[in-house]
Amino acid sequence: MTIRVAADGSALGNPGPAGWAWYVDDTCWAAGGWKHATNNQAELTAVLQFFRATAHLDDDLLILCDSQYVINCVTKWLPGWKSKGWRKADGKPVMNVDLLQEIDTELPGRQYRFEWVKGHANHPLNEAADSRARAVSEAYQRGATIPAGPGFVRAGDGAVGRPLEPRPSPARLTESTPAIPAAPPPSLFDFDEPSSRQSDGAETVDVIVTLTAVEFERLAARARTRGVRAEQVLRDLI
């Protein structure tokens, strides 16, 4: 089965109050945004959030975008940027690198393709995504309630939960202030003086996990998608 979705973004003033949205149908869509971000950040986030929302599925994905920038980033430029340490051919840092890195982590094992559609040309799915993204940006502009949508819901699946809102940092970025990848933490697990306790008759050991904000959000998104606690996602890796 192929899931057909439109992903779009809106930024009033670009940068300014911004919203992103992906739309499958009136019962299956999601939206979010920030008080201040660029249109490209919103467009990329719409794609990222759809990948996250469907991480539990093995369906083929057809993603409709009116942004050639987004399509080229994911399908053409990303591998080369990654191999060069997230720098462009001229040596300058890649714009919106944090979002691109997060999208990159969602791609392995996924069956997807992008299709360009002309914006504001009465394409039903594109118009639906665009109107929802703009509604979020306008809500942030007015200080009103954000229309977040039901998330990914498909007959037989039940409510999967809304995609996790992206961290606030993209809202502070502009096209003139490129992001530089943060250095990874020195250690993921801290085993200093683990404490043992009894749980259901079995001895357990408390392990402290140190995660970056990006890692934590990725973990939380996968936990929400599966409907389990974050601890269970980690436990399943063992």
Per-residue pLDDT of 83-105, as tens digits, reads: 999 999 999 999 999 999 999 99
Do 57 and 108 lie in one domain? The reply is: yes
Assess whether 35 and 113 both reside in one domain: yes
**CA of 71: how far to CAs of 77, 117, 152, in Å?**
9, 11, 22
Of all residues in the chain, the percent with pLDDT exceeding 90 is 63
Query: What's the CA gap between 42 and 22, in Å, rounded?
Result: 11
Is 171 within the bounds of a domain? no
> What is the Cα–Cα distance from 49 to 146, expressed in whole angstroms?
16
> pTM here?
0.69
Whether residue 200 is contained in a domain is answered as: yes
pLDDT of residue 183: 35
Same domain, residue pair 9 and 84: yes
Q: Are residues 54 and 110 in the same domain?
A: yes
Has residue 166 been placed in a domain?
A: no
Q: In terms of domains, do 33 and 92 share one?
A: yes
Q: What is the pLDDT of residue 226?
A: 60
* In a domain? residue 188: yes
Co-location of 85 and 128 in the same domain:
yes
Shared domain for 78 and 144, answered yes or no, is: yes
Residue 169: exposure state from Cβ atoms within 10 A (0-12, 13-18, ≥19): middle
Q: Residues 6 or more apart from 2 whose CB is under 8 A from it?
A: 59, 60, 61, 62
Assigned domain for 155 exists:
yes
Residue 167 has pLDDT above 50, yes or no: no
**12 SS3 class:** coil
Q: What is the CATH number of the domain that holds 69?
A: 3.30.420.10
> Residue 187 above 50 pLDDT?
no
Is the pLDDT reported for residue 116 higher than 80?
A: yes
Do 135 and 202 have their domain in common? no
pLDDT at 229: 73
**What pLDDT score does 191 carry?**
39
Burial classification of residue 32, based on how many CB atoms lie within 10 Å of its CB (0-12 exposed, 13-18 middle, 19 or more buried):
buried
Lowest-confidence segment of 4-13, 50-59, 213-222 by average pLDDT: 213-222
CA distance 128 to 8: 9
- The pLDDT, as a whole number, for residue 219 is 73
The range of the structural domain enclosing residue 190 comes to: 182-238
- Total structural domains within the chain: 2
Q: Is residue 91 part of a domain?
A: yes
In this model, does residue 123 exceed pLDDT 70? yes
As a whole number of angstroms, the distance between CA 155 and CA 150 comes to 13
**129, pLDDT greater than 90:** yes
- Mean pLDDT score of the chain, rounded to an integer? 81
Amino acid occupying residue 221: A
Both 110 and 191 in a single domain?
no
Q: Provide the annotated active-site residues.
A: 8-9, 43, 66, 120, 130
Q: Which residues pair with 130 in a beta bridge?
A: none
Task: Say if residue 61 is in the same domain as residue 6.
Answer: yes
- Domain membership of residue 164 (yes or no) is no
